[in-house]
Amino acid sequence: MSASQIYVIGAAGQVGSAMMATSDGRAVIPLTSADIDITDLTSTRSALANLSAGDVVINTAAHTAVDAAESDRAAAYAVNADGPANLAAVTSTSGARLVHLSTDYVFAHPVLGDDGAPRPFEPDDVDGVPETVYGASKLAGERAAQAADPATVVVRTAWVFTGGRQDADFVATMCRLEAERPQIRVVDDQTGSPTYAPDLARALWDLVDQLNEPALRGGAVVHATNAGSATWWDVARAVFDNLGAQQERVQPCTTAEFPRPAPRPSYSVLSAKSWVGAGLAPLRDWRAALGEAMTARSGDGNSLG
């Protein structure tokens, strides 16, 4: 699909910034919270007043404070549920397409494979109410967007990192702690899909280019993460290894030892079958992506490379 204009909502955020850095000459209009309030339909319509058929809106904006959402349900639902609904209301009347970024937190519990062990989630494995306000609000946003505009494409991702010196994601935090502490303890009973923001951004651009293909033309839910799976302990040890530090300095612990207001999924690996099935190129292994992030960090600090 050759879009006339592409609007990136949340352009100052982690994924939005990566989208802008990898846009490769596309006609992109970045919109931050200073330009659009997606929780307000009037503001949304005003900011997208020039939207027309052939345009694409990519929503990377979200209320991602998982723990804070537990005590401020209204704020989470305003951004994560009302926001996508408002964007979809505008795209549905203009003939533009909406690509909405969602999360692994929408799943309520692991799905067991034939061997009795958890298997990677497929898009239609959503069953029940997510344990967290964040997850429930994101699932509500998916459904509201596709109800308002059935052509909406929902892209679920997970464990997004950039690792830059100015970032606060898990990889960046591990880099900081390696320099500050002789030893750290990291949870080893949560398994997910680490995803490098620039890789996700490039994958989203690939999707935008193919929105008119049969698998995506009428709307879809797909999963996009770097390949492979890991626990947070695995990721932390890989960070230390990339830094030339002893991996033994990273000690495993359990989730129960570090309770949080919002429960974390014990298993939230996302399957790539839906992504590949839509004719899109699979993302590389997370370890290779982490290596690039660490190289960028050790260079000029620009981890979007």
CATH assignment of the domain containing 131 = 3.40.50.720
pLDDT, tens only, 72-88: 999 999 999 999 999 99
How many domains are contained in the chain?
1
Alpha carbons 300 and 207: distance in angstroms, whole number: 30
Could you tell me if 105 and 268 are in contact, meaning their C-beta atoms sit under 8 angstroms apart? yes
Please pick, among 7, 77, 134, 196, the residue that the annotation labels catalytic.
134
Q: What's the mean pLDDT in 243-269?
A: 96
Residue 304 reports pLDDT greater than 70: no
Residue 76 lies in a domain: yes
- Asked whether residue 169 is domain-assigned, the answer is no
pLDDT of res. 2: 53
For residue 134, indicate whether it is catalytic: yes
Does residue 291 lie within any of the structural domains? no
| Whether residue 301 has pLDDT greater than 80 | no
CA-wise closest residue to 160 among 80, 101, 100: 101
Tell me the per-residue pLDDT of 176-226, one tens digit each, with 9 for 90 and over.
Answer: 999 999 999 999 999 999 999 999 999 999 999 999 999 999 999 999 999
Q: What is the pLDDT of residue 110?
A: 92
Note whether residue 200 is domain-resident. Answer: yes
Whether 182 maps to a domain, the answer reads no
- pLDDT given for residue 300 in this prediction: 52
Say if 113 falls within a structural domain. yes
The Cβ of residue 137 has, within 10 Å, a number of other Cβ atoms equal to 27
Q: What is the mean pLDDT of the chain?
A: 95
186 domain residue, yes or no: no
For residue 299, the model assigns a pLDDT of: 79
pLDDT on residue 40: 98
Contact of 42 with 90, CB cutoff 8 Å: no
Give 98-115 pLDDT, tens digit per residue. 999 999 999 998 999 999
pLDDT of residue 298: 86
pLDDT > 50? residue 303: no
Roughly how many angstroms between the first and final C-alpha of the chain, as a whole number? 26
pLDDT over 70 (residue 1): no
The boundaries of the domain holding residue 216 are: 6-162+193-228+267-284
Tokens of 120: 């990677």
Residue 180 domain-assigned (yes or no): no
